[in-house]
Amino acid sequence: DYVAFTDGDDIANPFWLTEIRRSFRQGADIVAGRTIYIGYGPWEKLERVELFYKGFDVTFPSCNLAYRKELFEKIGGFDSWFMTAEDIDLNMRAIDAGGNLIYNDRAIIYHRTRDSFYSFAKQAFWNGYGRKQLTLKYGRLWNRYKPRTMFNPSQLSFWGTVRLGFALMGYLACKLYGEKPGGERR
């Protein structure tokens, strides 16, 4: 049995589930597919800020992710403490539990970008907040990012810089006002 995740407004390639099943037959416990962003052009080009954990990229979003049901239940599913980054946390716990993550670039989801500046900025803010939540739960993570990909030209474009600014505000907001795991206020 498997559990597959996507968002309600996403569009799955007709072969999405076929490709996910193929990856499970190849020994995957977790399948991350290729997410193609559609919407406002400059926002489509922005890339994920990858985080590597025990040799795996764990930043694949839950809009295109599938798990063996047994593993998903074993690790307790999504942690509701997270404002965002709950998918990254889920992937990290799955890797800790011995899960094998396979990326299948033929398991394609078309994911809409945010449709206004406000929603773009809000998403960036909460993504930064979630990254700080990850450090509260797992400790220092900066050494697990790849600086060359974080600071490549597409990330440092005008919109990449704007996104980074709002993400830093979210990170700082969590640092100053967020709750620690277990509900303790900072």
Digit-coded pLDDT (tens) for 145-164: 555 555 666 567 889 889 98
Residue 158 lies in a domain: yes
Residue 49 lies in a domain: yes
Residue 34 lies in a domain: yes
Q: Among 41-50, 85-94, 134-143, 169-178, which is the least confidently predicted range?
A: 41-50
Residue 18 lies in a domain: yes
Residue 124 lies in a domain: yes
Residue 107 lies in a domain: yes
Per DSSP, the residues of the chain read: -EEEE--TT-EE-TTHHHHHHHHHHTT-SEEEEEEEEESSHHHHTPPP--BEETTEE----GGGEEEEHHHHHHTTS--TT-SS-HHHHHHHHHHHTT--EEEEEEEEEEEEPPSSHHHHHHHHHHHHHHHHHHHHHH---GGGB-HHHHTSTTTTSHHHHHHHHHHHHHHHHHHHHPBPTTS-B-
Residue 148 lies in a domain: yes
Number of domains in the chain: 1
- pLDDT at position 86 is 96
Structural domain including 110 reads: 2-177
- pLDDT at position 181 is 81
Residue 183 lies in a domain: no
| Averaged pLDDT score across all residues of the chain | 89
- pLDDT at position 153 is 62
pTM for the structure as a whole: 0.88
In this prediction, what percent of the chain has a pLDDT beyond 90? 67
- pLDDT at position 143 is 58
- pLDDT at position 46 is 79
Q: pLDDT band at 66, cuts 50/70/90?
A: very high
Digit-coded pLDDT (tens) for 29-54: 999 999 999 887 777 777 777 888 89
